[in-house]
Amino acid sequence: MTDGPGVTMKCRIGLRRGLALAVSGALLLGACSVAGDGADPQRADPRSTAPAPTRSTASPDTSDPAVKTTEIVAVGDIVCDPTSPVFDDPNLCRHEEVARLTNRLVNDGAEWFLPLGDIQYEDGTFSAFNAVYDKWFGKFRPITEPIAGNHEWHTEGAEGYFDYFGERAGTAAKPWRSFSPVEGWRVFLLDSNCEFVGGCGPDSAQGKWLARQLKGSPEECSIAAWHHPLHTSGGYNGDEATIERAQPLWDLSDAGGVDVVLNGHDHIYERFAPIDGMTQFVVGSGGKELYSITALAPRSQVQFDDRMGVLRLTLSSDGGYDYAFIDSRTLRVVDAGSAACRNDPTGS
């Protein structure tokens, strides 16, 4: 994958840190439109109910060299099945443009890639992973921390998924794991396909592990990522099977003081105001055909069902983060803002 020729341009983001980002070629990471008066023409979409992002008044001055940052790119529901009759339809299978955007962000400094499940359609076979996903996203494997979606488990034991990602995915018996991307932050990678992993509730192996890890983690800020969203305005709004999978992981995350929840499954982008102290992002916009917004969920602030793209999170060791959803076709930020870690564990 190449980004093509072009000069390097710098735009200054008017958010938490005012970081200057070097952006290659024609990539307009919304920084130019977010800064200043905060207006972004893409935000005129009626599905967006939140105001344009503004500078956070709570943001500390990060001229302090002791403050460390890292960038994560997250997206789910990505690569079409190579045997699909619509595989070559650029409106229905757009994983190539999402891969190109991911490549630009990695070239510009993103250090982690989180595929949020349903990574390779239709059944997550090893041959499909090698034929398509690897062609477009394989170069990111050294920085990839994946989670499995329901389509990965269409293959017995999610064998294709675990064979392709190896130890980075954990094992079929224990896919849950965590890592610290930067000082002060921990990311918990969970599997919401509860029926295949021994459950998701507090008495399951996964649930007990998560509760212990959250209680013992020295990091003050945390992210939990799993495939099925508890809250969504898309086609899975109110879906009982989705709720049954997501609710126990949500409850455990809330009890342990998680700050950010990342999900896929519904093929939309959505950001919620904090619920139970956690900010949820649904990022099912990785390339597979989009779904429609069906009913606006409570606390939903921004919803897009007409654009692919990725979520970029910039995590800071001082206890805050920036978020930006970047449209993979227009190459512009269409939702952005800043927040601080503030969800205390239950009883603290």
Q: What are 257-293's pLDDT values in tens digits?
A: 999 999 999 999 999 999 999 999 999 999 999 999 9
Q: Which residues contact 244 (CB under 8 A, 6 or more apart)?
A: 194
Q: Is the pLDDT of residue 124 over 90?
A: yes
Per CATH, the architecture of 64-340 is what? 4-Layer Sandwich (3.60)
The model's pTM: 0.86
Count of C-beta atoms within a 10 Å radius of residue 288: 27
- Give the pLDDT mean for 75-99: 94
Nearest CA to 282 among 328, 255, 246? 246
Angstrom distance (rounded) from CA 266 to CA 227: 9
Of 11-20, 83-92, 333-342, which range is least confident?
11-20
Mean pLDDT of the chain: 86
pLDDT band of residue 91 (cuts 50, 70, 90) is: confident
Give residue 90's pLDDT. Answer: 84
Q: Is the pLDDT of residue 59 over 50?
A: no
**DSSP code of residue 79:** B
Angstrom distance (rounded) from CA 330 to CA 20: 20
List alpha helices for 23-146, DSSP H. 31-34, 95-107, 126-128, 134-137
pLDDT band of residue 240 (cuts 50, 70, 90) is: very high
pLDDT band of residue 65 (cuts 50, 70, 90) is: confident
